[in-house]
Structure 1
């Protein structure tokens, strides 16, 4: 795992249903993400915030809301993530809504192709995010990044990484899923996405789930974690715009992060959908920072 990390703020809710995710990067900074990682011995560089178009809050057109603005933000993020990877630094994307994963993961996939690495994407989320313009009930692109990365979507998004699809569906392991739109269910099955939903976690536990999700990860694997904060149960993480009851508990979430850290293969990270407008005294941001510490190897004992 790289010991040099770069924070990239992306303050936009351009793809979301609610205002507020644009404040997520600052909430994570207030929760001292940079200082906490530095105390773990990491070389931390905060690159500040990217800039992009304002959110016009317009209705969808042809099944997409704010498509041109979403494309602009994702192109900027793609270039920023590529630049950090080229310097052998681990990019941490501070979102922002989950549509940003199109730009970040497209850049990671491009880097992996250039260096002969195999990509594994751990998608920690309450939602499958595999909608298309024909299945979406809202037109919000934060419900579409998985579909776009797998090659289904508008050219301006699916082609950002220089190859279509940017990522093979087989690279994804979706964990914590408990909300899938009716039209989306068929798309998920047709794409062959591997999903460990909350029923699976309830039945076999988080340890077994993570063993299955991480099976096959080796020294040639680049592990990308796309951490949507609504992955967590809203009882412990209220600061999200699309909360869904019945998510992982605090200890289940910690175990998930600790087992990822145990692989030593973490290469890039998104932290998205943190919405301080719905939070209580920044508790969700503080919890997210606690979990990121575990993701980078903090543990109760020396292991």
Structure 2
């Protein structure tokens, strides 16, 4: 049984500052550029369309005004959550093409709705070159939602974005895993204080991408599922300069492919979003082609035979879902397991062993899930199965993933001495 991928364009650039006083961020062009490289046919994906974003106009914003485009981002996030929820309701695997990191608010809202419906928590794997954790508690002012995305989805910041539909936080701090920030990220200590676990690039490289993905599975074993956010500025600018805020010290394409494949190789991974690629810095499409190659290879486990989508749909009862009652090892959290919500995953399927295995726990078909609601296999359109940013970087490395030796990075895991471009972070 397989999961079919559905690709949804979310070309919003509302979360970034303008590159110049007379231009707008180019990442809204990313979905079209990636489609032009054959992403959908290569994934054998269903085209889930495009959610057009509101007009970009940052001319009126001044420091102290709060997050720029907040009203537009809030409306767009609710609409995006509707579209993602509809894809998941079809037992499909959403791949959302951004856009800037503010699209995470829409994905987060969709995940919170889903968690409430099934009576479980949904986690977040945040793969990004920057922590995006600026908020009023650690900054003199806020303004660009892309640079505040992780703070907002964990409940920090102004309520019109951090508490859409009265939901706050969308993800709990203990249910977030951060990969790929640079060793000297400005907000790394704030993440640590919040209890958000991280693997900066040196640790990610020394532990290896595949083992890091397995580690993420283990950290989120108490969750009913998780969402994956990927900002392509996690890549080193020596290999991926086509972003708005390139930061030296990133990973290689091969490492991202292995990490992505490990993260999606379980039915508990509910979907992936891709953000911040800027085709304005890629006139010949070479970097778009590299991204597509990486995404296609990285998502191969999703459509492999035996990739069974979880049943996360709850019965429409018209009542609020009960509070999550999941086994957990986090202090202060109830540990008494409760009965599964109608149509939800059985508690036994949340154990780390089943999360890592890529299959539902034995007995899931008898744990409150009617047989007629179990997922059916998904074939392609022909009926055939799928074939199997301004932080300083600390160059000190504890080691490296062997795959880096094939990636164009040096034996020590260090990037090229000089990256091709270095621009101020537009989300700063």
Conserved? CA contact 2:27–2:99, under 8 Å: yes
The answer on 1:32 being equivalent to 2:38 is: yes
Q: Specify every segment of 5 or more residues in structure 2 that has no aligned partner in the other structure, as ranges.
A: 20-24, 305-386, 389-428
Question: In structure 2, which of residues 260, 264, 268 is the aligned counterpart of residue 261 of structure 1?
Answer: 264
Secondary structure, aligned partner of 1:52: coil
With over 3 angstroms needed to count, the CA separation of the structure-2 counterparts of 1:91 and 1:208, relative to structure 1, is: closer
The answer on 1:225 being equivalent to 2:231 is: no
With over 3 angstroms needed to count, the CA separation of the structure-2 counterparts of 1:280 and 1:87, relative to structure 1, is: same
**What is the distance in 2 between the residues matched to 1:127 and 1:179?**
10
Conserved? CA contact 1:172–1:193, under 8 Å: yes
How many residues align? The count is 296
Coordinate RMSD, CA, aligned: 2.6
Question: In structure 1, which of residues 142, 151, 157 is the aligned counterpart of residue 155 of structure 2?
Answer: 151
- Which has more helix, going by share of residues? 1
Question: In structure 1, which of residues 107, 119, 122 is the aligned counterpart of residue 122 of structure 2?
Answer: 119
Conserved? CA contact 1:31–1:289, under 8 Å: yes
Question: In structure 1, which of residues 140, 160, 163 is the aligned counterpart of residue 167 of structure 2?
Answer: 163
Residue in structure 1 matched with residue 282 of structure 2 by the alignment: 279
Question: In structure 1, which of residues 244, 248, 273 is the aligned counterpart of residue 247 of structure 2?
Answer: 244
The answer on 1:50 being equivalent to 2:46 is: no
With over 3 angstroms needed to count, the CA separation of the structure-2 counterparts of 1:197 and 1:123, relative to structure 1, is: same
Q: Specify every segment of 5 or more residues in structure 1 that has no aligned partner in the other structure, as ranges.
A: none
Question: In structure 2, which of residues 295, 298, 321 is the aligned counterpart of residue 295 of structure 1?
Answer: 298
Residue in structure 2 matched with residue 212 of structure 1 by the alignment: 215
Question: In structure 1, which of residues 59, 62, 69 is the aligned counterpart of residue 62 of structure 2?
Answer: 59
Residue in structure 2 matched with residue 176 of structure 1 by the alignment: 180
With over 3 angstroms needed to count, the CA separation of the structure-2 counterparts of 1:217 and 1:174, relative to structure 1, is: closer
**Offset of 1:206 from its aligned partner?**
2.4
Residue in structure 1 matched with residue 8 of structure 2 by the alignment: 8
**What is the distance in 2 between the residues matched to 1:52 and 1:164?**
24
1:90-110 Cα offsets, whole Å, 9 max, x none, are: 222211100110111221222
Conserved? CA contact 1:127–1:180, under 8 Å: no
**Offset of 1:87 from its aligned partner?**
2.9
- Which has more strand, going by share of residues? 1
Conserved? CA contact 2:229–2:274, under 8 Å: yes
With over 3 angstroms needed to count, the CA separation of the structure-2 counterparts of 1:220 and 1:48, relative to structure 1, is: same
**Offset of 1:219 from its aligned partner?**
11
**Offset of 1:50 from its aligned partner?**
2.6
Question: In structure 1, which of residues 75, 99, 104 is the aligned counterpart of residue 102 of structure 2?
Answer: 99
**What is the distance in 1 between the residues matched to 2:207 and 2:197?**
16
* TM-score, scaled to structure 2: 0.63
Question: In structure 2, which of residues 22, 26, 49 is the aligned counterpart of residue 20 of structure 1?
Answer: 26
Conserved? CA contact 1:107–1:161, under 8 Å: no
Conserved? CA contact 1:63–1:133, under 8 Å: no
**Offset of 1:67 from its aligned partner?**
2.0
Shift >6 Å, 4+ stretches:
none
Conserved? CA contact 1:210–1:259, under 8 Å: yes
With over 3 angstroms needed to count, the CA separation of the structure-2 counterparts of 1:292 and 1:123, relative to structure 1, is: same
* TM-score, scaled to structure 1: 0.87
1:121-152 Cα offsets, whole Å, 9 max, x none, are: 11110011111035347621101111111111
Conserved? CA contact 2:127–2:229, under 8 Å: yes
